[in-house]
């Protein structure tokens, strides 16, 4: 019965049982954790308090749910949710739907009376990503989790999301959007690789921060490549796209096969010296080839 209830209740906590990577071992870990933590108290509680099978099931389910809440709050997603709760509860921009109205307890923009949101999460993630100037504070602590963003940025993103939703949202929905917008706050998942399964760690789409970093990398590589290309002679620039094509080099230089090999070898060594070593060596090399009029190949 405990196993059944843990499985059922854990489904309410995607952060503990993510749908795409969940495995039987995760359920066993949760069950083991619950038993190790609460078995004595829960046994005493059921003996004293449960007067029927129905009440026992209800009490056990509640104990499991509260334990799972504690576990979820310990995760990075739980921390994000608590941060969101605090920001929403202490900012006049947001308010909770009062009792008696549809969507009671959900969050919405203050002064609105929108219905409960029931749209696509992807649309809200796009709205979250469109918020400019999101600031992520510097963080040096090794014992505390880094903040997802500064308070003003969280408010701005939450405002954009609720505005795009045009409806009231559960805190869990908002947290899910924030997790998609700020994936770096999520704890690295432990995933057991299985032969028959393709495991996708996360979406391939770059976050705004990753897009900025990628753009900067691209710019740096471009500048470096231009510098390298400028140090080549016109003939060398003509040969760069042909380095793997000895007959073409023969044709350009009007020389024999062995001389063409020698030219190609010297040019490669020169390029290696000019480009140097580093993480961006491949990107710079490809850009040099492009600047010299060639189409970058796979390598």
Partner 1 sequence: MSDPRIPQRLLDLAKQAQAPRELSGQALRERSGELVDVEIQAGQVWRARWEDISVLVLILAIEGRDVRAAPVTIDPPADDDHSLVLEGQSTAFGVDTTVWAGLAGTVPIRVLERPVDACSDEVIQWTRSASEGRPGDVPAGARQGHLISSELDPAALARAEIADDLEALRQAPGLPAAAPGQQPRGLASLLGTQLDLASLCTALDLPQPEVMKILRGKAPLTAGQIEMIARVTGLTAERVAASVRPLPLGLVVRMEHPRWRHTWQERARTYRVSESEARLAGSYGAYSLAARQTGGGEPDWDERLRRFLRDEDMGPGGA
- List interacting residues with partner 1 (CB under 8 A): 2-3, 28, 31-32, 35-36, 38-45, 47-52, 54-55, 57-59, 62-63, 66-67, 69-70, 73, 82, 85-86, 89
Q: How many CB atoms lie within 10 A of CB 180?
A: 20
* Both structure tokens of 95: 């308010």
Please, which residue, 49 or 110, has the CB nearer to partner 1? 49
Q: What's the angle, vertex CA 171, arms to CA 76 and CA 67, rounded to 5?
A: 55
Please, which residue, 50 or 253, has the CB nearer to partner 1? 50
Q: Is 115 exposed, middle or buried (0-12, 13-18, 19+ CB in 10 A)?
A: middle
If DSSP codes are grouped into helix, strand and coil, which group holds residue 151?
helix
Minimum distance of partner 1 from residue 41's CB (angstroms): 4
Please, which residue, 58 or 257, has the CB nearer to partner 1? 58
Please, which residue, 78 or 103, has the CB nearer to partner 1? 78
Question: Could you tell me how far CA 15 lies from the centroid of its own chain?
Answer: 13
Beta-carbon contacts of 98 under 8 Å, excluding residues fewer than 6 positions away, are 104
Q: How many CB atoms lie within 10 A of CB 126?
A: 17
Q: How many CB atoms lie within 10 A of CB 94?
A: 19
Minimum distance of partner 1 from residue 193's CB (angstroms): 21
Minimum distance of partner 1 from residue 137's CB (angstroms): 23
Please, which residue, 44 or 199, has the CB nearer to partner 1? 44
| Torsion region of 63: left, alpha or beta (phi above 0 gives left; psi -120 to 50 gives alpha) | alpha
* Both structure tokens of 187: 């704890």
Please, which residue, 22 or 261, has the CB nearer to partner 1? 22
Please, which residue, 41 or 235, has the CB nearer to partner 1? 41
Minimum distance of partner 1 from residue 89's CB (angstroms): 7
From CA 143, how far away is CA 127, in angstroms rounded? Answer: 32
Minimum distance of partner 1 from residue 16's CB (angstroms): 15
Minimum distance of partner 1 from residue 52's CB (angstroms): 7
Which of these, 159, 150, 148, 180, lies nearest to 91 by C-alpha position?
A: 159
Minimum distance of partner 1 from residue 182's CB (angstroms): 20
Contact 23, 10 (CB under 8 A): no
């Amino acid at each position: 019965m405990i196993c059944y209830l843990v499985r059922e209740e854990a489904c309410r906590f995607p952060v503990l049982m993510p749908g795409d990577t969940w495995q039987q071992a995760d359920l066993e870990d949760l069950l083991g954790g619950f038993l190790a933590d609460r078995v004595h108290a829960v046994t005493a509680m059921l003996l004293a308090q449960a007067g029927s099978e129905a009440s026992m099931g209800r009490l056990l389910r509640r104990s499991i749910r509260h334990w799972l809440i504690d576990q979820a709050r310990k995760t990075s997603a739980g921390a994000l949710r608590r941060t969101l709760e605090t920001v929403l509860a202490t900012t006049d921009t947001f308010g909770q739907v009062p009792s008696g109205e549809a969507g009671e307890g959900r969050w919405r923009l203050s002064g609105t009376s929108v219905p409960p949101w029931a749209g696509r999460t992807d649309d809200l993630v796009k709205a979250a990503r469109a918020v400019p100037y999101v600031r992520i504070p510097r963080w040096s602590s090794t014992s505390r989790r880094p903040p997802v963003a500064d308070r003003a940025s969280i408010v701005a993103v939450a405002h954009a999301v609720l505005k795009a939703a045009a409806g009231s949202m559960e805190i869990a929905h908002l947290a899910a959007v924030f997790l998609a917008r700020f994936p770096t706050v999520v704890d690295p998942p432990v995933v057991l690789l299985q032969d028959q399964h393709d495991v996708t760690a996360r979406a391939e789409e770059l976050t705004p921060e990753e897009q900025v970093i990628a753009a900067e990398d691209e710019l740096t590589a471009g500048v470096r490549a231009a510098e390298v290309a400028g140090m080549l002679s016109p003939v060398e620039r003509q040969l760069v796209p042909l380095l793997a094509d000895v007959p073409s080099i023969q044709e350009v230089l009007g020389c024999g096969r062995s001389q063409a090999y020698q030219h190609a070898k010297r040019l490669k060594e020169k390029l290696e010296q000019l480009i140097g070593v580093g993480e961006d060596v491949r990107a710079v090399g490809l850009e040099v080839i492009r600047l010299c009029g060639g189409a970058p190949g796979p390598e």
